[in-house]
Structure 1
Amino acid sequence: MTGGRNAENEVRLRPPRNTLDGRAVGWWRTRLLLTTAAPAGVLAVLGALIGPASSWLFAAAGAVALLGLGCTAFLPAWWYRVHRWEVTEDAVYVRTGALWQEWRIAPMSRIQTVDTVRGPLEQAFRLATVTVTTASSKGALRIEGLDHELAAELAERLTAITRATPGDAT
């Protein structure tokens, strides 16, 4: 025993084993393209409408488009390589982030709610996000980019495990 706790029963932060669904790459790319198209389009329309500033506005639209296309080409594949998740009988493990990686763990006894969300774009890619809300001030854990059927099964499994886990989730 260490500090009054049984070391065998402690949940430790460790690398999660599961990757996201491969369709998450396409979903992220589509999101980035849409996010890029909006400001680039607005700048291009303004450039067409405002004669004296058109060269600057067209240049800005081109710069935004190039930056967005570069991000779209490289970031989703990188995100796919670094995002991981896992659920055990003891905890939910999530690792996210590309430059600033965040590793989080939620012991089953701390879980308050489990939600599954499917936005319009996620539905088009047959994906879903599972959100695990805990009593942590850091906020909920999100596992994005899961196959929608796996996400539903995962939510059911988490609900069953947390129901059977002693604790007050506060």
Structure 2
Amino acid sequence: MNDPERDGGPGDPLEPWPRTVPWQPVSRSLIWVELVRLGAGLGVLTLGVLIGWALTGHWAFAAGLGLVLLIAIWRGTVIVRAVHAWGYAERDNDLLVRHGLLVRRLSIVPYARMQFVDVSAGPLERAFGLATVQLHTAAAASDARVPGLPPAEAARLRDRLTALGEDRAEGL
């Protein structure tokens, strides 16, 4: 009746995010951070198109303005869905980090392989009360990051990962 192969269990190669793991979502405030970043970039682009239109009056700039609007709507939708796709899970021996819409990515970082853990927060993240936890390992390709965490959770996760990394690395 319950077939783990069919239900997206560990044997399903098309479902990279195990459903048996208790995923922790990132803060929904990350949506606003990303939308503000998008707005700033598209604002500059819109200003350039409007200046070109005002100087030349060419119809191509009006079409460009429409294109910028379509890009804004599309990217806004993608941002909301992408933030909902982020998650992390702490297990006994490793940390799992998932993200991605079109290309789903699951990073599994063993605690014993972690070299150090960074917590960062830029001005925009701080304005929304968020921080990013970045894990660093010997192999750069296996680094993982968890954005959109409240500062208290980021500090807790940093301290826990550091302690677990030290405990697991002692046996190496």
Q: TM-score, normalised by structure 1?
A: 0.80
Determine if contact 1:37/1:65 at 8 Å carries over to the other structure.
Answer: no
Determine if contact 2:113/2:169 at 8 Å carries over to the other structure.
Answer: no
The correspondence of residues 1-170 of structure 1 with structure 2, limited to 5 A, is 14=18, 16=21, 17-49=23-55, 51=56, 54-72=58-76, 74-166=77-169
Report the secondary structure of 1:99's partner residue. coil
Determine if contact 1:40/1:62 at 8 Å carries over to the other structure.
Answer: no
Aligned to 1:8: none
Moved segments of 4+, more than 2 Å: 13-16, 166-169
Partners of 1:87 and 1:27 lie apart in 2 by 25
1:38-67 superposed Cα distances (whole Å, 9 cap, x missing partner): 222212222223x16x32123213311232
Partners of 1:167 and 1:57 lie apart in 2 by 63
Percent of residue pairs bearing the same amino acid type = 26
Superposition RMSD in Å: 2.1
How many residues matched? Answer: 154
Q: TM-score, normalised by structure 2?
A: 0.79
Unpaired stretches in structure 1, ≥5 consecutive residues: 1-12
Partners of 1:32 and 1:168 lie apart in 2 by 46
For 1:144, give the aligned amino acid: P
Kindly indicate whether structure 1 or structure 2 has the higher relative contact order, using CA contacts under 8 Å at least 6 residues apart: 1
Distance apart, 1:93 and its partner CA: 0.5
